Structure formats: structure tokens, C-alpha cells
Chains A and B, each alone.
Chain A
């Protein structure tokens, strides 16, 4: 906690029992206006789109449900009605093993978000500008290789082929960065319609089948006989599932099995990708869904990737109102579970 952080203490009835000066300054209230008031009502929390978070979804609800400290971002409404983005950490207050309330620490992250947005815009513009000359390089090297200029020697051909491959990797990377920056700038919108998730799983599988075949891995598809319908963006969900399947294949030894299953639960649809791969250490879990993150493991040196696949998948699933859960045992394999709302 820093000196400028807001702090709010609530009692067992979720009423504000203490509040510090920075919290009052950030929210625009006086102490008298907040003490004793019911926290969820007087300080509503919202998501990025301005939807009010339910009591269960706001970090305090999550902290009470898990019994642990929970951190996250949210938007608070100030007294004057304006919105302020905050990063907050909530912990249940315990007396022995008895929970008696909560303490919430938060800080205004308006400046950080403005900086982040400026960075995303810069990356979007820079990657767009980089793509044009890189595409021209590909075109001209391709022309040389195709023999549209003077004849080339065997050595020159070899060098040009390497230049061509490097250029392709560069273009792929630029394309990925551009895609992510568009996502960050909220330029990606979902086209939601009702689909049978089994079809999307099959499409995703068809796309990555080549990668799986090249490692002589087996694929097991488990699905019910009846449609598993959900309202999703077909294209984006397919890419998210592809990313999980590709990841499973990359970090699984040859001859092992990758299992993908889809099914409907009471209030959600679940897609599970299970591999028999190298697995992930628990301490690496937080890094998994971060941008450009590569988790070291026995196969990571053999895999060329941007470290954006899981980040993209998690973002897309989150945009659907769902989440990805991961479970893993090092040396045994990993299970990535997509949960989509009904």
C-alpha cells in the first residue's frame, strides 16, 4: 500500500466502518457521507463497458467467496457521477478463523490507463507501418526466387530462401502484434450468434491437424450426440480453441494424445483441451495469459511462438463473458478449460 492509496473497511453487514482521506479524495465524498452506508450501493463498481458488477462479481464478493485476497481492476462511480478506473485489492478481515468484514485498498489508475492506451495506439500504428515494407521485401525476394530476375546460384538461392523464411516470421509477428493491439484498443467486436460448439471444435481441429500430425500425436474428440449450442462469435472462438490446441501440441511429446471435449453443463458450455505434455509449474500459472509471455519448459526451446496465443484466447473468452481455467501437473500434462456462459 502506498501513501496515496484509498482504504475502506467494511463490517459484517458490508457497511463502511472506516475510510481514509485518499479514498474520500478519489471518490469525491466526505467521511460523514460514507460511514455506515451500505458499500455496494454507495460505491457501485462497473466493468470497462459501464455494466454494473453484481455483488458476487465485484472483487469483494470474490474475496468472500474464496476467503482469500483478491485483486483486480474495476471502475468506481464518484459522487459527481463520473467514472474512475481503480486497481484494488480486497481481503477478508479475520478474527481467528471467523470472517468479520473486509478491507479494500485501491488506487486511481487513470494516468496508467491513459499511458497504456497511448502505448497501444503507438504499437498499432507502428506495426501497421512495419507491415507494408516487410510485405514488399517478401514480394521482391519471392520474385528473385521464382527466377523473375537474372539466374541465381545455388548458394544465392539458399540465402534468399532463408531471408524469405525470416521475413515470413517477421510478418507473422507483426500481424499478431497488430491483432493484439486492435483487441486492446477495443477495435475487435464480437458477432454473436447461436452455434453448435461441436462444429467450431471440429473446425479448429482441422486447422491445427497438420501441426498435430507432424508430431505423430493422436487426437481424441469427446462430444455428446446432441448439439452443444451457445451464443458465441464463431470465428473468434475458433481461433481461441485453435490457440489452445496448438499450444497443447507444441508442448506435448510426439506419439502422445491430445483430448478435446465439449459439453453443456447446467448454466454454461465447457470446452476442455487436455494434453499429456510437459505440464506447467504452479508458480508459472500467472504468466500464462500475459502478453509475450513464454514459460520455460523442456520443449520451449523447440517451439517458436510469439507468446500471444493464450493471451488472445483468454481475452476473447473474457469478451464472451466466460473464462479459461488451467490445471496442470509438471511432467504429466495440462488441462485448459473454456467456460462460456449460457
Chain B
């Protein structure tokens, strides 16, 4: 798991919330807000991305807990704790 790139870690987590739409959702957010290719993401980029992902995801679900948890797990990725973030699975609070 340690060998996963930042974008792969984000995608892995995003799958839990967005299923098959995760790739496209994340790819769009990266290209629109960061104007970068997914494989060139840095941890700083992930911090920036979280706010936009959170807003867009909040339009897809009424479950605030889910939105918050998704953002928290992405923050762990940005903090360099991707393994921890991936090992947490989405659970209804």
C-alpha cells in the first residue's frame, strides 16, 4: 500500500463514497481546480483539493457525516498517512 501514488490513494478512498464514478469525479476536480495531471499531485495540492471535493460531494449527498469523513480521510492522505486513511472504511455514524 505504501507504493500507491497520492492520486491512487485518493481514488482508493473515493471508491468508498462514489463507487465507479470515483475516477471521473476525482480526475475532473484535479484538472479543473489544479490544472494538473493526476500523477503529478503533491501533498499541498491535496489540501487545496479537499475543499472543492467536499463542496461538490456535499451536492451529491445529504449525509453530512459522510462528507466530513471523506474529507478527513483525504486530509490524512495529505498529511502523509495514506495507509491509515485507506484502512478506515466508510461507516455510518
Within 8 A of B (CB), among A4-26: 12-14
A98 to B49, CA, bound (A): 10
Within 8 A of B (CB), among A30-89: 38-41, 55-56, 58, 60-61, 64-67
Contact of A92 with B55 at beta-carbon distance under 8 Å, contacts A13-B67, A65-B28 already known: yes
* CB <8 Å contact, B64 and A13: yes
* CB <8 Å contact, A99 and B52: yes
**Most chain B CB atoms below 10 A, which of A12, A13, A92:** A13
B59 at the interface (CB under 8 A from A): yes
* CB <8 Å contact, B56 and A65: yes
* CB <8 Å contact, B54 and A56: no
B1 at the interface (CB under 8 A from A): no
User: What B residues does A12 contact at CB under 8 A?
Assistant: 51, 54-55, 58
A279 at the interface (CB under 8 A from B): no
Task: Return A305 CB to nearest CB of chain B, in Å.
Answer: 35
A7 to B59, CA, bound (A): 18
CB contact between A64 and one of B59, B62, B67 (< 8 Å): that residue: B59
CB closest chain-B residue, reference A14: B58
A97 at the interface (CB under 8 A from B): yes
A325 to B21, CA, bound (A): 23
* CB <8 Å contact, B59 and A55: yes
CB contact between B32 and one of A13, A41, A55, A67 (< 8 Å): that residue: A67
Within 8 A of B (CB), among A283-340: none
* CB <8 Å contact, B64 and A64: no
A242 to B28, CA, bound (A): 31
CB closest chain-B residue, reference A93: B55
* CB <8 Å contact, B60 and A64: no
User: What A residues does B33 contact at CB under 8 A?
Assistant: 67
User: What B residues does A60 contact at CB under 8 A?
Assistant: 59
B5 at the interface (CB under 8 A from A): no
CB closest chain-B residue, reference A94: B51
* CB <8 Å contact, B51 and A56: no
Contact of A66 with B56 at beta-carbon distance under 8 Å, contacts A97-B48, A98-B51 already known: no
User: What A residues does B52 contact at CB under 8 A?
Assistant: 64, 67, 99
* CB <8 Å contact, A14 and B59: yes
A101 at the interface (CB under 8 A from B): yes
User: What B residues does A98 contact at CB under 8 A?
Assistant: 51
CB closest chain-B residue, reference A95: B51
User: What A residues does B69 contact at CB under 8 A?
Assistant: none
* CB <8 Å contact, A64 and B56: yes
CB contact between A61 and one of B24, B54, B59, B62 (< 8 Å): that residue: B59
* CB <8 Å contact, A101 and B55: yes
* CB <8 Å contact, B32 and A66: yes
CB contact between A99 and one of B24, B32, B55, B62 (< 8 Å): that residue: B55
User: What A residues does B55 contact at CB under 8 A?
Assistant: 12, 14, 64, 92, 99, 101-102
**Most chain B CB atoms below 10 A, which of A14, A60, A97:** A14
Which 10 pairs from chain A and chain B are nearest by CB?
Answer: A55-B59, A14-B58, A38-B62, A64-B56, A64-B55, A13-B58, A14-B59, A13-B64, A55-B60, A99-B51
Can you pick out 29 interface pairs between chain A and chain B where the beta carbons lie within 8 Å of each other? A12-B54, A12-B55, A13-B58, A14-B55, A14-B58, A14-B59, A39-B59, A40-B62, A56-B56, A56-B59, A56-B60, A58-B59, A60-B59, A61-B56, A61-B59, A64-B52, A64-B55, A64-B56, A64-B59, A65-B28, A67-B32, A97-B48, A98-B51, A99-B52, A99-B55, A100-B51, A101-B55, A102-B55, A267-B24
**Contacts A61-B56, A67-B32 supplied; 16 other A-B pairs, CB < 8 Å:** A12-B55, A14-B59, A39-B59, A40-B62, A41-B62, A55-B59, A56-B59, A56-B60, A58-B59, A60-B59, A65-B32, A67-B33, A92-B55, A97-B48, A99-B51, A99-B55
